[in-house]
Structure 1
Amino acid sequence: MGRHSLPDRPRRSALAPRPRARRRNAAIVTATVLAVAASTVAAVQGGLLSFGSSCQGGEVRVRIAAAPAIAPALVSAADHAHRHEVTSDGRCLDVRVTAREAYQVADALRSKATSGTDFEVWVPDSDLWVHQITADARAEPVTQVGNIASTPVGVAVIPSAAKSLGWPSKTYTWTELADTAMTSDRLRLGAGDPARSATGLLALTRLTDAAERAKDGDTRVAAMTRALSQRTAETDRRLLATLPRDLSDTEQGDPQRNQALFLSEQAAFAYNAEADSGDDLDLFYPEDGSPRLDYPFALIDENRLTTDQSRAALRFMTLLGEADGREILGGHGFRTAWDETPEALVTQAGGRSPQPYGETAAAPAREKDVQEALGLWTITVQSDRITTVVDASASMAKPVPGTDRSRMDVTKASLVQALATFTADDEIGLWKFSTRLDGNRDYRVLVPTEQLGDRKGDGTQRDKLSAAVRDLEPVPGGPTGLYDTTLAAYREAVASYGKGKFNALVILTDGVNEDPGSISRSRLITELRKLTDPDRPVPLIAIAVGPDADKDEVDQIAKATGGSGHQISDPAQIHSVILKAIVQAARQS
């Protein structure tokens, strides 16, 4: 029998990847299930749940690191497996569950701090975490084998604020809810830190994607993100503690406390299950679609697992897709079929008709959109000091295929777009380079790196930068003086390091070094390594623009500083690449 053929009763999880999920009756919350949930929380919080002696000598152990929201359900399922002697190839399952925040497990897997003896299975709350790990070649390998539950993300609101917003009759889009929070005092809206909360990141991605389609989208996105960053908590569990102590209070209450939260249906379900009468949250389901947490089931370092371990893990996953497993998950507030909406669950979570809780979930966020949202968040919540160095050689006058604009024209438009995402406290500067632009120097400092909100004559640093970007033009006949410029700019960035800020140097070039009198590439890399200080990190983000640029070259140069090199075919991609690179660099700092 093959290693991954399912042992004993082979059934698929109701949420395993498939064209359509199998339909089933809605789960009904029972007192028995709630009692089991209450009795297992202590075991989860304590770390491990041990079983009795009936399976001693014949059991196969599976250790699971699970997101805190689903850990109690998995403990209940593990207890069920033990009591009913569920087997894998005739051996009883000994499943032990530890509640761990997904970002903590992801950090450990990236650093390989989770050794082969810690866990066999990881159940985070979203595929987003698994994608992060599989995209990192240096991380501990994980293999996703299915999804075991889901729950949509909406906006949970205290009763008085919900009433003022017209709940449940009035429906809102994501941007309308965010605009309401920014433009009135009717809704103090909080979120889990998108860098540590999949709920927060999915909501932020929906917000940024929708807002960018509106007029002045970039400015609106930056303002919205900045406002949201003032009301975040590290995790979803801590976010719930930011609600007023008395939800039935109709007064405005403490302005430091949130009146509404980006929250999953399951989290609202669990909160309401424990709340006193009158303290239930009401739940808005945005009419333009709710993203879902989808609870992937992933094997950690599959190759090190024994056949018994991997098959036992798969057997436990199939149990979760069977009737008993689905009842346990449903009793804890999870949906177990993609195309059904359990009415009792929605009611307990605070949903009411005509809120569109039964609508098809929003399409999964594209990786590009997630990275842009996370990059925007990174530069919003932490002040930045970034110097951008732009290639002004003659080749920048070449047209971008399929357009009537030059590489420089599109580059300028992308830089203006990126500039709108920075706040007044961020320090941004601009250089340009070719060869011999300033005496014997291949570069010229157009705008020194200073705070965007600083007054500069009749305007601000932001105004000055915007004007300088618009004035950028290719130098007729100008070669590319890449190496000397890179070394000079990096030396200046290190010397002017801003403590407590995210520091970086961004270099945009569409060619290779063409200055025969410059230092060599090997010398440049050696000097960059000498300048790099782990206590004062300044990653170089090098972007090769167009087919003439050498991606391998910029990658080698950037990695000497702990940064990253990128190749793009269209300068319009500069904005998203910068955001993605900032996320990567921030994680490594």
Structure 2
Amino acid sequence: MGRHSLPDAKATGTGRARSPRRRTVSIATALVLAVAAGTGVAAQSGLLSFADPCADAPVRLDLAASPDIAPALRAIADRARQDRVTTDGHCLDVRVEARENYQVAAALADGSGTPGYQVWVPDSDVWVERAKGLGDGISLTPAGTVATSPVTLATVPTTARTLGWPRKSYTWAELAATATGADGLLLGSADPARSATGLLALSSIAESSRQKGADSDTRTAATAELLTQRVSDTDTRVLETLAQDDSGAEKGNPRRNEAVLLSEQAAFAHNSEGSGSTNLNLFYPTDGAPVLDYPYSLVDETELTTDQSRAAMRFMALLGDEAAYRTLQEHGFRVADTALDPTLVRTAGGLAPQPYDGNDAGPPSSESLQRALGLWTVTVQSARLTTVVDTSGSMAAPVPGRDGQSRMDVTKASLLRALAGFTPEDEIGLWEFATRLDGATDYRELEKTARLGEPVKGGGTHRDRLSDAFTALKPVPDGDTGLYDTMLAAYREAVATYVSGKFNALVILTDGSNKDDDSISRAELIKRLKTVVDPRRPVPLIAIAVGPDADRDEVDTIARATGGAGYEVSDPAEIQAVMLRAVMLSAGLTGPDSTAADRS
């Protein structure tokens, strides 16, 4: 990604279309000279021919373009027709059609149909990589970059002032922390699975957060969870979610966003409309804005005719013309090797000392984009979680600094907060465990794992019943842990009731190691878990060790037998955030260098 120069059309003498005025003068001069030479009659009789390059059928080129840049490309193509720009002696006829990037990428990756266009200009190289798929799709031949536009955070004016715009600047991690804090922003985004803007921003947040410290995965997961609640299908629709006036979203419709992840060009177009909508102000993160880079690619080049191939390269050269540059800039795009127009930035909503003219962030690696997309997929995918909570006597111990609240009190409050973040389509269940809860059995199912929106007898939903069950949890006096038997029984049940199409996991919270002489040993537990694991029905065990008596290394060793992991929290209030991080890690989204130390 980034900026790449197009061929210098003026240097070759073929890229710059002459103006209509110059062409008219040339034709008139030729006719005058012809008459002066006494050849007018011959010309009228057809004995002398002045070939019109557009008399024959022009060379037709179909171009699919990202909806944001399609109007600019269409204007350039229209001007080329008006100026009678030629390719190999034939007039150039480029037809531009706006198409959603993710739809084109999916169709090219599938490779089963005929595209119907010879050139593709998406908004980002992200889509070119997506279109390559597994290598079985329709081939793409890169030929340069048309324009660029940095990805920013756009806010309504009242929110911008609250955040200190334009003097106060933020990194991506700081913006994420502001959005997910106690008084967080009503922040919207286009779906990162369908929007390069959303995906690049989420990847930038993840990378910036990694630079800040060990809780980076938690922060990124929390941001993704926030965005899932206010996501739009496309970049165009995300603008429709913004607050409509300068009163601020809190005083207006709470479903309206105060801020959105947006490209500079989209903000430029919004602010240029003059429709009465509130103009946006832009924050450019200090650790670099990733850019939309609008790559120009030939589609299935081996199937192009010679005329089509040359026409495609002719139009690409034309996009390096000064007139084309002006058109792109008038539509809010930055162009390579050209000084940034401060009017463009001001119209878009940028203002010094925001670092709008700093270096763009380097293009994210394919691995980082895949991690961000994987995180998003897991976050938005419906979950099926069976939660197993320790109710042994030690859960009655007070938590330091919590005004006498017990481990159980704080654990319940954290679980209830986590429950509020799940959708009606998510499936959650609840078990409790302590020694001899039911005769010799150390565990008990309190609520089946079911869809939160499912109606229940007596009125209400499964969410209501589960909330009541969380609230009713209490320590069993003198009860020990009974951990190993519980883990095995709960894991067997989770695999047996696996639901495809959802993220299935078993979440166990315990404040101590196993203290039950009648239980199986840890070695035996691991051995039996391995026999239950089914790669076709993956259920990672997420084990969270709570409090100073818990042994994280022990639960991590056990959980790894299922493809899961163990975690440690000193304060039960951290459970909600750790659960988000655990889901991401269990899905293998933090890369191959994750270690047990990362899970502390």
1:57-95 CA-to-partner distances (Å, cap 9, x unmatched) read 241111111100000001001011111122221221110
* Superposed displacement of residue 386, structure 1: 8.3
User: Could you tell me whether the CA contact under 8 Å between 1:167 and 1:284 is conserved in 2?
Assistant: yes
Q: Pick the aligned partner of 2:145 from 141, 144, 147.
A: 147
Q: Which residue of 2 aligns with 1:442?
A: none
* Closer/same/farther in 2, CA of residues 298 and 490 from structure 1, 3 Å limit: farther
* Closer/same/farther in 2, CA of residues 306 and 468 from structure 1, 3 Å limit: farther
1:308-347 CA-to-partner distances (Å, cap 9, x unmatched) read 1111111111111121111111111100026742211101
Partners in 1 of 2:198 and 2:166 — Cα distance? 23
User: Could you tell me whether the CA contact under 8 Å between 1:192 and 1:232 is conserved in 2?
Assistant: yes
Partners in 2 of 1:502 and 1:205 — Cα distance? 23
User: Could you tell me whether the CA contact under 8 Å between 1:243 and 1:259 is conserved in 2?
Assistant: yes
Q: Which residue of 2 aligns with 1:122?
A: 120
* Closer/same/farther in 2, CA of residues 278 and 248 from structure 1, 3 Å limit: farther
* Closer/same/farther in 2, CA of residues 238 and 489 from structure 1, 3 Å limit: same
* Closer/same/farther in 2, CA of residues 575 and 277 from structure 1, 3 Å limit: closer
User: Could you tell me whether the CA contact under 8 Å between 2:148 and 2:335 is conserved in 1?
Assistant: yes
Q: Which residue of 2 aligns with 1:411?
A: none
Q: CA RMSD in A?
A: 4.5
User: Could you tell me whether the CA contact under 8 Å between 1:63 and 1:120 is conserved in 2?
Assistant: yes
- Opposite residue 223 of structure 1, the aligned amino acid is A
* Superposed displacement of residue 236, structure 1: 0.6
Partners in 2 of 1:172 and 1:190 — Cα distance? 18
Deviates more, 1:273-282 or 1:65-74: 273-282
Q: Which residue of 2 aligns with 1:238?
A: 237
User: Could you tell me whether the CA contact under 8 Å between 2:64 and 2:121 is conserved in 1?
Assistant: yes
Q: What SS is found at the alignment partner of 1:578?
A: coil
* Closer/same/farther in 2, CA of residues 169 and 459 from structure 1, 3 Å limit: farther
Q: Which residue of 1 aligns with 2:99?
A: 100
Partners in 2 of 1:377 and 1:141 — Cα distance? 28
Partners in 2 of 1:303 and 1:325 — Cα distance? 28
* Superposed displacement of residue 576, structure 1: 9.0
- Opposite residue 578 of structure 1, the aligned amino acid is G
User: Could you tell me whether the CA contact under 8 Å between 1:371 and 1:580 is conserved in 2?
Assistant: no
User: Could you tell me whether the CA contact under 8 Å between 1:116 and 1:301 is conserved in 2?
Assistant: no
Aligned counterparts, 1:118-517, within 5 A:
118-185=116-183, 187-212=185-210, 213-247=212-246, 252-276=251-275, 279-337=278-336, 340-385=339-384, 492=496, 496-497=498-499, 501-502=501-502
- Opposite residue 344 of structure 2, the aligned amino acid is L
- Opposite residue 343 of structure 2, the aligned amino acid is A
* Closer/same/farther in 2, CA of residues 503 and 90 from structure 1, 3 Å limit: same
* Superposed displacement of residue 450, structure 1: 5.5
* Superposed displacement of residue 449, structure 1: 11
Aligned residues: 412
User: Could you tell me whether the CA contact under 8 Å between 1:290 and 1:362 is conserved in 2?
Assistant: yes
* Superposed displacement of residue 233, structure 1: 0.3
TM-score between both structures, scaled by the size of structure 2: 0.60
Partners in 2 of 1:386 and 1:137 — Cα distance? 35
User: Could you tell me whether the CA contact under 8 Å between 2:269 and 2:332 is conserved in 1?
Assistant: yes
Q: What SS is found at the alignment partner of 1:73?
A: helix
* Superposed displacement of residue 182, structure 1: 2.0
* Superposed displacement of residue 166, structure 1: 1.2
- Opposite residue 299 of structure 1, the aligned amino acid is L
User: Could you tell me whether the CA contact under 8 Å between 1:248 and 1:278 is conserved in 2?
Assistant: no
User: Could you tell me whether the CA contact under 8 Å between 1:269 and 1:349 is conserved in 2?
Assistant: yes
* Superposed displacement of residue 502, structure 1: 2.4
* Closer/same/farther in 2, CA of residues 371 and 255 from structure 1, 3 Å limit: same
Q: What SS is found at the alignment partner of 1:138?
A: coil
1:369-413 CA-to-partner distances (Å, cap 9, x unmatched) read 1111111111111223489xxxxxxxxxxxxxxxxxxxxxxxxxx
* Superposed displacement of residue 188, structure 1: 1.3
Partners in 2 of 1:315 and 1:217 — Cα distance? 47
User: Could you tell me whether the CA contact under 8 Å between 1:289 and 1:359 is conserved in 2?
Assistant: yes
* Closer/same/farther in 2, CA of residues 92 and 577 from structure 1, 3 Å limit: farther
User: Could you tell me whether the CA contact under 8 Å between 2:159 and 2:248 is conserved in 1?
Assistant: no
Residue 578 in structure 1 maps to residue 595 in structure 2: no
Partners in 2 of 1:145 and 1:320 — Cα distance? 12
Deviates more, 1:140-149 or 1:178-187: 178-187
User: Could you tell me whether the CA contact under 8 Å between 1:341 and 1:357 is conserved in 2?
Assistant: no
- Opposite residue 63 of structure 1, the aligned amino acid is D
Partners in 2 of 1:309 and 1:315 — Cα distance? 10
* Superposed displacement of residue 458, structure 1: 6.7
* Closer/same/farther in 2, CA of residues 204 and 94 from structure 1, 3 Å limit: same
Partners in 1 of 2:249 and 2:504 — Cα distance? 47
* Superposed displacement of residue 504, structure 1: 6.8
TM-score between both structures, scaled by the size of structure 1: 0.61
- Opposite residue 357 of structure 2, the aligned amino acid is G
1:474-523 CA-to-partner distances (Å, cap 9, x unmatched) read xxxxxxxxxxxxxx999946xx426xx525799xxxxxxxxxxx9xxxxx
Partners in 2 of 1:143 and 1:160 — Cα distance? 46
* Closer/same/farther in 2, CA of residues 491 and 178 from structure 1, 3 Å limit: closer
User: Could you tell me whether the CA contact under 8 Å between 1:15 and 1:146 is conserved in 2?
Assistant: yes
1:84-118 CA-to-partner distances (Å, cap 9, x unmatched) read 122221221110111011011112112235x3351
- Opposite residue 161 of structure 1, the aligned amino acid is T
- Opposite residue 502 of structure 2, the aligned amino acid is F
- Opposite residue 178 of structure 2, the aligned amino acid is T
Q: Which residue of 2 aligns with 1:567?
A: none
- Opposite residue 91 of structure 2, the aligned amino acid is C
Partners in 1 of 2:277 and 2:115 — Cα distance? 46
Aligned counterparts, 1:11-50, within 5 A:
15-16=4-5
Gaps of at least 5 residues in structure 1 are: 1-12, 23-52, 388-419, 430-447, 461-466, 473-487, 507-517, 519-523, 529-537, 542-573, 582-589
* Closer/same/farther in 2, CA of residues 580 and 449 from structure 1, 3 Å limit: farther
* Superposed displacement of residue 256, structure 1: 0.2
User: Could you tell me whether the CA contact under 8 Å between 2:125 and 2:295 is conserved in 1?
Assistant: yes
* Superposed displacement of residue 225, structure 1: 1.1
Deviates more, 1:261-270 or 1:167-176: 167-176
Deviates more, 1:216-225 or 1:164-173: 216-225
Partners in 2 of 1:343 and 1:369 — Cα distance? 32
